[in-house]
Chain A
Amino acid sequence: MTIDQVAHGFTKLSREDPKPFGAMAAAVLEHQRSSNPVYARYCNAIGSRETPLPTFLPVEAFRRAAVAAFPPEEAEHVFESSRTGSGTPSRHYVRNLAIYRDSAAEHFRQIFGEGPFLFVTHLPGYEAQGGTSSLLYMIDHLVDRFGAAGSGSVLGDAGKLHDLAELGARSRVPLLVFGAAFGLLDLVEKHEFSLPHDALVIETGGIKTHRRAIERGELHRRLAQGFGIAASAVRSEYGMCELLSQCYSREAGIFVPPPWMRAWVVDPASPFEEVSMGGTGALAVLDLANMHSASAVLTQDRAVRRNDGFEVLGRLAGAELRGCNFLLEHV
């Protein structure tokens, strides 16, 4: 199987038939071992291991090197992570933006349907990133593809959100509020809303705010209360600039990957086997949409496996790695 075949076929995969995924994954990993110098060096240094799991490249590599299975200068676009953490951002050299668009749109369609939706976005901080933000690019594309007339950004303007909510109710188009977790929380703490009963709110992460850390369940409860909608109408999106696929939460904060992505929870110090069901570890993924960079990625997110999905508990901090966090063991 060639990479072009993967590019044309990965969004047609179904969860019910895992065989084609295996064939595509094998082709992609082989391609990256031979054409991605960073991944090749990593695999060579790790050596062969008796494990059914792929060799996961630490996501930190995207911050330290050009992780690409093609000459990076030929990238159609480069996404960057936000610079909220340490100085150097992660960079994702994207060979073909159509792959990202296909991945984002097809998974969105599978989860939420064809629409149209009246998109309302509230992404303070990301706007300043402009074209380097993979999240903004994705949402712009989703609005183009699934958005009704009037969709747009409110950026903290509560009046505009009220107007759009009324427009949605009048035109019977479901409202879909897409926003950074802390931004949405700020919004509902300052204003009262009563969104239409069929409205959905999707928070894109940022659970640990500049003010405090907040559990996802508590965040969703407050957002549901603040927007006047059912708790089940608040969803989460899991994505990062290093991955060209996203996951949406189903219920109770459980994320389910698209059919062209697999997720495992592994020991971050020895990511060669899964932790047992319900065990805590680092989230590792294999994302076929990353066919031109690195598909098998070890994230820095602490997660727990839940049946066919996973729950993200937070970031793997230095405290966990240094072993002075009793919570990992006791709670």
Chain B
Amino acid sequence: MAATSCSSMSERALIEAIADTAADWRDPEYGRRMEAVTETLEADNAFTEEAVAFAVNQQMLLLTADALTRWIGGRHSALGRTIGVLNPGNIPFVGLQEFLAVLLTGHRYLGTLSSKSPSLLPCFARDLERRFPALHADFADVPEVLAAAEAVIATGSEETKTWVSERCDDVRIGPERRLLRGHSFAVAVLDGRETDDDYERLAEDTLLHEGFGCRSVALIWAPHGLAPDALLDAFALFRGVFPAHSRTPGRLALQQAFLSAVERPHAFGDGLEFLLSRGDPEEQPPGHVRWTEYDALGDVKTWLRDHRDHIQLVVARASVRDELDGIVPVEGFGEAQRPRLEWRPDGIDTVEFLTSLNRVGMR
């Protein structure tokens, strides 16, 4: 794709082009979207047709010219750099926020492609390029990305971060030019006054992407004595609309067998479409949700403080959110799978990182 610097005029044009492209992509019958979705569903992943449609619709609805302008807020890098983005590809369309942030702040995007989600982001990029031919976005494998990048954005475990840091050292990309995000997950905190509607939204927060992704709820804190029946009903209802991926029961079968073996209380849906176990506040494999009881909300606060590095966000009712605000990012039920453009993964503003590159030396 062709290279160009991004002046404020071209930034305006780019915003319009993104908004126009997104408007097309909101239509499920739009050819390029259909093509990308079909390729995505054929890839080796655990994405369901419903979850892919949800992810595309949700992200495209965000991309209006006004919202993009507000998000970027005139922040722009005077010196366009090549930003290497190592995309995890664990949920559909992951990496779109970084893609847009890089381009709108005047940098050049060079991202990796995941075999799990190989089509949505590149197809969107190609479609965008039709409207904005000066777009500077490309995709390559990890070594090529690291060889060409002047700054890096990556997500992964501590081990991954160490590996990326070492490779960055090799190619002299200093720490100030790395945005390395760690492993995290979402938590729900109940107070026993949740409505059926709250539980239905929590089901979406928990089950939509089969438990994958850092914004999926993996752990639910509940007041001592609260029965999970209403939540289980909501899970079953959700699965009626968003069926589990065909691989999910197989993955959960091992988990369920383990819970049976060690005689840990648990519940699961018909055909193992979801699995919930009672026990200590420990993250389980995707799709297996842990239900942990608390006596006092203060205990939950303490736990959240101790684990804040691994908590992407907490979903809860408004009154509980007020109690937890300032400890961890808090959002309402039903918002975990609907991140806003302004969302700051790990509390770090991607746009701010990208504009800060003006102030640091480059290789």
List chain A positions with a Cβ less than 8 A from chain B.
38-39, 41-42, 44-46, 57-58, 60-61, 64-65, 86, 208, 212-213, 269-271, 314-315, 317-327, 329-331
Chain A nearest CB: distance from B245 CB in Å? 12
Chain B nearest CB: distance from A20 CB in Å? 29
B303 interface residue (CB < 8 Å to A): no
A41, A45, A57, A324 interface centre (most CB from chain B within 10 Å): A324
Chain B nearest CB: distance from A205 CB in Å? 15
Can you list 15 pairs linking A and B with CB atoms under 8 Å apart? Answer: A45-B253, A61-B262, A208-B158, A213-B158, A269-B251, A319-B159, A322-B90, A322-B214, A323-B286, A324-B155, A325-B159, A326-B89, A326-B154, A326-B156, A330-B142
Q: A60 contacts B258, CB within 8 Å?
A: yes
Chain B nearest CB: distance from A314 CB in Å? 5
Q: B261 contacts A41, CB within 8 Å?
A: yes
State the CA gap A44–B257 with chains docked (Å). 8
* Number of A-B residue pairs with CB-CB distance less than 8 Å in the complex they form: 128
A44, A271, A323 interface centre (most CB from chain B within 10 Å): A323
Q: A325 contacts B285, CB within 8 Å?
A: no
Q: A319 contacts B183, CB within 8 Å?
A: yes
Interface mask (B248-287 → A, CB under 8 Å = 1, otherwise 0): 0011011011101111100000000000000010110110
Residues in B neighbouring A60, C-beta threshold 8 A: 258
State the CA gap A269–B157 with chains docked (Å). 18
Residues in A neighbouring B112, C-beta threshold 8 A: 326, 330
Chain A nearest CB: distance from B158 CB in Å? 6
Asked, given contacts A45-B260, A213-B159, A318-B283, whether A326 binds B213 with beta carbons under 8 Å apart, the answer is no
State the CA gap A323–B280 with chains docked (Å). 22
- Chain B binding surface SS class: loop
Asked, given contacts A271-B254, A322-B214, whether A327 binds B163 with beta carbons under 8 Å apart, the answer is yes
Contact of A326 among B114, B250, B262, B264 (CB under 8 A): B114
State the CA gap A314–B86 with chains docked (Å). 21
Q: A61 contacts B258, CB within 8 Å?
A: yes
B115 interface residue (CB < 8 Å to A): yes
Q: B183 contacts A324, CB within 8 Å?
A: yes
Q: A319 contacts B212, CB within 8 Å?
A: no
Contact of B261 among A57, A318, A321, A326 (CB under 8 A): A57
Chain B nearest CB: distance from A188 CB in Å? 20
Residues in A neighbouring B250, C-beta threshold 8 A: 269-270
B246 interface residue (CB < 8 Å to A): no
B97 interface residue (CB < 8 Å to A): no
Contact of A325 among B115, B160, B251, B262 (CB under 8 A): B160
Chain B nearest CB: distance from A233 CB in Å? 26
Residue of A nearest to B210 (CB): A323
- B contacts with A, residue count (CB < 8 A): 48
Chain B nearest CB: distance from A212 CB in Å? 7
Residues in A neighbouring B258, C-beta threshold 8 A: 42, 58, 60-61
Q: B89 contacts A329, CB within 8 Å?
A: yes
B162 interface residue (CB < 8 Å to A): yes
Asked, given contacts A86-B282, A318-B283, A326-B86, whether A65 binds B158 with beta carbons under 8 Å apart, the answer is no
Q: A42 contacts B183, CB within 8 Å?
A: no
Residues in B neighbouring A321, C-beta threshold 8 A: 285-286
B59 interface residue (CB < 8 Å to A): no
State the CA gap A320–B158 with chains docked (Å). 11
Residues in B neighbouring A318, C-beta threshold 8 A: 157, 183, 185, 283, 310
Asked, given contacts A58-B258, A213-B162, A326-B88, whether A331 binds B214 with beta carbons under 8 Å apart, the answer is no
Contact of A317 among B89, B154, B159, B254 (CB under 8 A): B159
State the CA gap A58–B258 with chains docked (Å). 7
Residue of A nearest to B156 (CB): A325
Asked, given contacts A42-B257, A323-B90, whether A317 binds B282 with beta carbons under 8 Å apart, the answer is no
B352 interface residue (CB < 8 Å to A): no
Q: B260 contacts A326, CB within 8 Å?
A: no
State the CA gap A270–B88 with chains docked (Å). 21
Residues in B neighbouring A269, C-beta threshold 8 A: 250-251, 254, 285
B141 interface residue (CB < 8 Å to A): yes
Chain B nearest CB: distance from A67 CB in Å? 9
Which B residues from 222 to 268 make CB contacts under 8 A with A? 250-251, 253-254, 256-258, 260-264
Q: A322 contacts B155, CB within 8 Å?
A: no
Contact of B157 among A44, A61, A271, A319 (CB under 8 A): A319
B106 interface residue (CB < 8 Å to A): no
Residue of B nearest to A218 (CB): B166
Known: A58-B258, A326-B154. 8 other contacts (CB 8 A): A41-B263, A46-B257, A213-B158, A317-B157, A319-B156, A321-B286, A325-B156, A326-B114
B80 interface residue (CB < 8 Å to A): no
State the CA gap A44–B253 with chains docked (Å). 11
State the CA gap A58–B185 with chains docked (Å). 23
Contact of A42 among B154, B185, B261 (CB under 8 A): B261
Contact of B214 among A61, A270, A324 (CB under 8 A): A324
Chain B nearest CB: distance from A215 CB in Å? 8
Contact of B160 among A46, A64, A270, A327 (CB under 8 A): A327
Chain A nearest CB: distance from B235 CB in Å? 19
State the CA gap A208–B261 with chains docked (Å). 31
Residue of B nearest to A330 (CB): B142
Asked, given contacts A46-B257, A323-B212, whether A314 binds B141 with beta carbons under 8 Å apart, the answer is no
Contact of B183 among A39, A64, A317 (CB under 8 A): A317
Q: B115 contacts A329, CB within 8 Å?
A: yes
Asked, given contacts A213-B162, A317-B183, whether A324 binds B264 with beta carbons under 8 Å apart, the answer is no
